[in-house]
Amino acid sequence: MLLTVIGILAGFVLLVWGADRFVLGAGAMARNFGVSPLLIGLTIVGFATSAPEIMVSAIASIGDNPGLAIGNAIGSNIANIGLVLGATALARPMRIQSETLRREIPALLAVTLLSVMLFLDNYISRTDGVVLLLGLGLLLHWMAGLGFRSAAGDPMSAEYAAEIPADVSTPTALAWFLLGLAVLLSGAWVLVWGAIKVAHVLNVSDLIIGLTVVAVGTSLPELAVSIVAAMKGEHDLAFGNIIGSNMFNLLAVIGVAASVSPNSPIRIDAEVLILHLPVMVGLTLVIFAVAYNFGGRGRVFRVEGFLLLMSFVAYQAYIIKGAMD
């Protein structure tokens, strides 16, 4: 068991470091090729920050552990709102000013509802996976157009420009990109191995491990990026990181897991429909409400951050207790 715990911790460390290098390399290469910082942030960085979830879910699904893959995707979305947004707003109240970001939030709601619809028959088939991946393609196309159309004065553009390195040569950026990808794959493999071992030792389902340990671990890059950005006053970047990650988690993570699963369709446990999806949808509606505040002020105060964080803790405690009973 000690070796398993060490493996899980090592997997988390590798995922966090690998994701950081992967994002740096991808962002720097795109900037060197003349892509605007806002476009890089909306597409490349947003997709890259979901790389840990994509890698973990793909490896889990290929290894015939689809519950871990699905739990990771749903659990990461819940963690991004409850844990990441909650902890970030608790550390520093956030003010949403970017009009680009306001256009992204309805897209997140649409992606969430599409995903839920595909779950309603209690199965996720390879066809469903293809639909989600096609949706990912459409989303990237729409976000690229949004990045081109958005005004240069959008606050989020300046925030991304400040974070994407401009002094990294293309060969160095490519080296970081490839190294980050290799470390991500290694970390994902180690983490999946450890998570499956823990599930067997504790006699709980892969789904529960995916919703708890793995979801929190793969959300660590988003947590680090969002808190650091908020403390720098880059509130739109912090908020946008969560929005983008959640859209990519549903479309890319579940899409890839369903497409590569050797045993399609993937059966969905009833508790996913009864509990976990409603929690995810509910928190998505909360993020919609706090972003607009029904008056367009776009503020997330400490009290809202505290409530989100406590809701996440209560949710985690409830499913862990249920698994142990």
Model confidence at 297, pLDDT cuts 50, 70, 90, reads: low
Domain holding 34: CATH number?
1.20.1420.30
pLDDT computed for residue 150 by the predictor: 67
Are residues 56 and 214 in contact, defined by beta-carbon separation less than 8 angstroms? yes
pLDDT computed for residue 152 by the predictor: 62
Q: Over 80: is that where the pLDDT of 38 sits?
A: no
pLDDT in tens, 45-56: 777 778 888 888
Mean pLDDT across the stretch 200-209? 86
**199 vs 129, higher pLDDT:** 129
**152 vs 174, higher pLDDT:** 174
Model confidence at 296, pLDDT cuts 50, 70, 90, reads: low
Cα 306 to Cα 91: distance, rounded to the nearest angstrom:
10
- Cα-Cα-Cα-Cα torsion 10, 61, 257, 38, nearest 10 degrees, comes to 10
pLDDT in tens, 114-137: 999 999 999 999 999 999 999 999
pLDDT in tens, 63-99: 888 888 899 999 999 999 999 999 999 988 888 877 7
Q: Over 60: is that where the pLDDT of 295 sits?
A: no
pLDDT computed for residue 247 by the predictor: 92
Are residues 160 and 40 in contact, defined by beta-carbon separation less than 8 angstroms? yes
Are residues 40 and 179 in contact, defined by beta-carbon separation less than 8 angstroms? no
Model confidence at 306, pLDDT cuts 50, 70, 90, reads: very high
Cα 306 to Cα 310: distance, rounded to the nearest angstrom:
6
**116 vs 3, higher pLDDT:** 116
Q: For residue 300, what are the domain limits?
A: 2-324
Cα 15 to Cα 160: distance, rounded to the nearest angstrom:
22
Mean pLDDT across the stretch 199-220? 86
Worst-scoring range by mean pLDDT, 23-32, 119-128, 168-177?
23-32
pTM > 0.85: yes
Q: From residue 91, give the alpha-carbon distance in Å to each of 61, 206, 246, 258.
A: 36, 33, 21, 37
Count of Cβ atoms closer than 10 Å to residue 140 Cβ = 19
Q: What are the phi and psi torsion angles at 64 (to 5°)?
A: 65, 40
Cα 45 to Cα 49: distance, rounded to the nearest angstrom:
6
Q: Over 70: is that where the pLDDT of 280 sits?
A: yes
DSSP state at residue 93? -
Q: Over 60: is that where the pLDDT of 172 sits?
A: yes
Find the DSSP H helices in the chain. Answer: 2-32, 37-39, 46-48, 51-62, 66-79, 86-91, 99-119, 126-149, 155-163, 170-202, 206-209, 215-218, 220-231, 235-248, 254-260, 270-271, 277-292, 302-324
Cα 140 to Cα 21: distance, rounded to the nearest angstrom:
22
According to DSSP, the β-strands at 94-95 and 299-300 are: antiparallel
Q: How many domains does the chain have?
A: 1
pLDDT averaged over the chain? 85
Mean pLDDT across the stretch 235-253? 87
